[in-house]
Chain A
């Protein structure tokens, strides 16, 4: 008799199309070393590590509200971690990659202990100061190569084809791993806590969310991701230097990518990475003008288009490729969609209401 049935679902039409598409893209990406050139692989590493770093910054800022300008600390620690493990410790360079990530995560704990005392913009500069401290410490420690750094020679002993393919796959691993990690976190109970912190920290705390613990977890995970990615980046570059490894430009890279793509979504950083990377390639003959252009776009969109490009697209067409929200669908044959005012257009894609339900 009842014309209405409530259906709770996560899938969107886009995600149903998106999953097979993602599998095809992934298959092409995985097989790239079999058919692609050495240059293409190197370019691939640059792009994929950008995706990974952007996801990590987005996890921090977009979900936990931690606006860090100091993630270069963990990129640098990852880079130096892989270098020290491979050159000084005799660990196989590829095995050293995740260990370097763990080292970065370990350094994130005391860093959080200091910087979590600060709020908002002061937190941002505080993380930056800590990154500077790490850079200056590395410069002053002769064992780490001092100001001139060092080369990762052990990886050079591996045959070039094998090495390039392996580094590429590692980069693909960190990029996919970062996306999957963020997706799984957001779909978990902890992710729900994070979303509530993002929306209203005081209310979240009032409902029993341990905001400090949630933020600490995110901070440490993000450091792990940045450290692992930094290790992969420097296996590609083969030399580490404190100025480069702890450069503020890493933060610029992640922040601009996320802001242009869309803060607080999984798709945004991927889209942002495509735009950033595209502009970087197109303007590669014009020195650092690409940073001037991208910086201008990012600063403008941070003020006038806070949801980024993905937000704009998503508002127009419901496109969630990685649906993390649960939506209530009114399965209403008796109720044509037109009688229901479009209260939440983003939560309710047109047409899905009359789609045949299999589990209803």
Chain B
């Protein structure tokens, strides 16, 4: 099928993209827009490394067709900081030593930010369930949970 032109709003900016319509949002964000924070882990929505926000809610961008995201507000990890000032969740992950290899962290942080939007004072169990769609093979999750707790409590 021929390539198509459509407009994606990513991190507050409209981008015209020209691509085959069966490309995933993840492929377009990484390969066309060169925003490489979102990662492809499994490609089937299981690992959460490709998590981005669409209209403020987390989705696995490997299972969203890019044309279906036209007209929506997409936020990737690159759009979270305010200029040079990191988002409080990003800073908390640094302060708590929550990052090891880093592959899962962009998705993990977006899931954490969205969790606190939906539930500003989660219990530890709610935090663990809230990030259960994001797999981390390094950390054992403990310092990630502590970072989220510190932002929730501040």
Do A and B associate with each other?
no
Interface residues of B (CB under 8 A from A): none
